[in-house]
Structure 1
């Protein structure tokens, strides 16, 4: 009677042992799948940087499989786990080496020695760029006034010389209009304060003075025709007394040879700053 009971206990123990083996098998299978997946991801990352290493690893795996087949050994779950772990370790090492080789070396900016000694923090920031020193501007010396003998110029050159004096002293829109049909205007310009100045140039010798008839012809056109705010007659000689009297009555500025030299040298007033009949 006791023998059947012992037989039933033996059957229960055998069944419990089979359940444990099955659970262990599935656990090892899950570990193997996880290892294989990790190895595949690592191998793919390494293959992106080093295709040669990936090819070598694949050849090693194929050789190992062929060697196992030739040995006709029964591959157990533990052996598969060990081989998978070794392959994963090798693939990880290859990926690390590939990433180290692909990473560029950090660029280091050159900083002058002692640059951080002034307390400005230059020694702790290698990317600080030192500003270039801008040379101080050296003021130019004023150009010397060129001596011009206006008496030696011809009439056209004398008009150009007077126009150049106007430009030098800040006049704008300076124009030389002397010639046939100029109606007494040789130089027309706009003063720095916006007034229109009309100048008639008389390049005469010392013995030939500007008379009242010259002033009358100029006075009949300078204001009405040319719209002058300032009308002036500039000569290299002098004016007669009737000419000065007419100029004072009409408001015309007379600049003789002496006053022309002072204007040229910068020691006398400009025509648009002088009073009428300044001669």
Structure 2
């Protein structure tokens, strides 16, 4: 396993423009306090990228920086070659970036269908087509469109949140801990849904605390530590790397 600098350069395909590229980004919430420190990441077309690491490593901050929710102080973020550094979230949605936060990710007083319609506020004329698309991936929701989201379980709310982000037909989906707080059965369902979203052609970047399961399904993984991409490689390589196992999977991994 190489360090992040050499590994990041190794995954760049000179014949293709990455869907998302994070170049040496430094970012944080408070002035003078950096959570990310020269962090880099590449997601190519159709890839499922997993981001793991200890608590406080900057995993969620990285996603929020891509989505314009955390100020980037140095470095740059690019979407299909276009710089989007510090662009507002609504403009990123219009450009094809979907984001599913870990918590508070549905409108509980609205029905499932109304939640999905909220995801299509920029393109309301495509409602029927997009509803058909997301209910093919999440057929359970298609049978319960009139149910209020506030009555759903945590796993069901996660499905609604992911479906709403899919309504705009994003090029890339950012998922912040999709299995957090779920039962083991619901966790498995969440990972299956993530794979289905990715197979539908959506480049996916996922932050996960269930490191072992994340690496099992992702094409490539990044291990963040103290705001830096400490290791990167294929999911299989990271699962079998002694340093990653010793430093991270021993405490973050969950045996099947």
If asked which structure has higher relative contact order (CA below 8 Å, sep 6+), I would say 2
Q: Which has the larger radius of gyration?
A: 1
Higher helix fraction (1 or 2): 1
Higher strand fraction (1 or 2): 2
Under a length normalisation based on structure 1, what TM-score does the superposition of the two structures give? 0.27
Under a length normalisation based on structure 2, what TM-score does the superposition of the two structures give? 0.29
